A = this chain, B = another copy of it.
């Protein structure tokens, strides 16, 4: 069964982002920021408590170290260093979990790192090594892409299980890759579009392309964007469709 995941804990100090307490009851997996692109230790603890209260699985959501850019800017960090940045973040969140009687069960990299790892093997290996050396029992969430067999093969080398992720508020290109945000129609802004994409994914294991075609996709989890105005209602919609 498809799991609903959402980025959580992306407030920082005095700044608020997202509507975590209202989204949490409708999702299965909470990707909790670890302080490098968002969050701070107190925010992380509060978010872990929310996840515990709703019985939601907790994932580490590590990032490049870039608060000002919210982890959305590519940074050329050497793989050996990147590996330690990822381990540090997983460990930090897991420490906060441990103090609250919870634990991290998967990892979903954030932003520019999330995008980079599916197109740069050295970076993907660095993330896999981080997960594998920290705890090979953690799953790693990656974008569902056409070359998923290659990713799966690499992950197997490190003994890491992958969870492929799809998006209901985005169109795909004819190869099954996310259509670039710069293309008109690539980002869905209406409930109708989002529901149509959600139904394709949930009911037919397919995604709708820019041209309106459907192509098959193998997905384990659907992302709800937690920082948008529509987060709660999208989460509710997905919950009602998935059951």
Contacts and interface: CB of A to CB of B under 8 A. Distances in A.
Interface stretch (A127-135, A151-159, A186-194, A214-222): A127-135
B88 A44 contact: yes
Contact of A134 (B17, B76, B84, B98): B98
A130 B96 CA distance: 9
A213 interface: no
A81 interface: yes
A68 B99 contact: no
Given A67-B13, A74-B75, A45 B84 contact: yes
Contacts of A38: 14
A99 B130 contact: yes
A41 interface: yes
Contacts of A73: 75-77
Contacts of A69: 13, 75, 77
Given A95-B91, A96-B91, A112 B68 contact: no
Contacts of A88: 35, 41, 44, 92, 95-96
Interface in A54-101: 65-70, 72-77, 80-81, 84-85, 87-96, 98-100
Contact of A95 (B67, B76, B95): B95
Contacts of A174: none
A195 interface: no
Contacts of A11: 15
A35 B95 CA distance: 15
Contacts of A80: 42
Contact of A68 (B17, B40, B44, B130): B40
A91 B98 contact: yes
- Minimum-distance CB pairs A-B, first 3: A91-B95, A15-B15, A41-B84
24 contacts: A12-B12, A12-B67, A12-B68, A13-B69, A13-B70, A14-B38, A14-B72, A35-B88, A41-B87, A42-B80, A44-B84, A45-B84, A45-B87, A65-B66, A73-B75, A73-B77, A76-B112, A89-B95, A91-B91, A91-B94, A91-B98, A98-B133, A99-B130, A99-B134
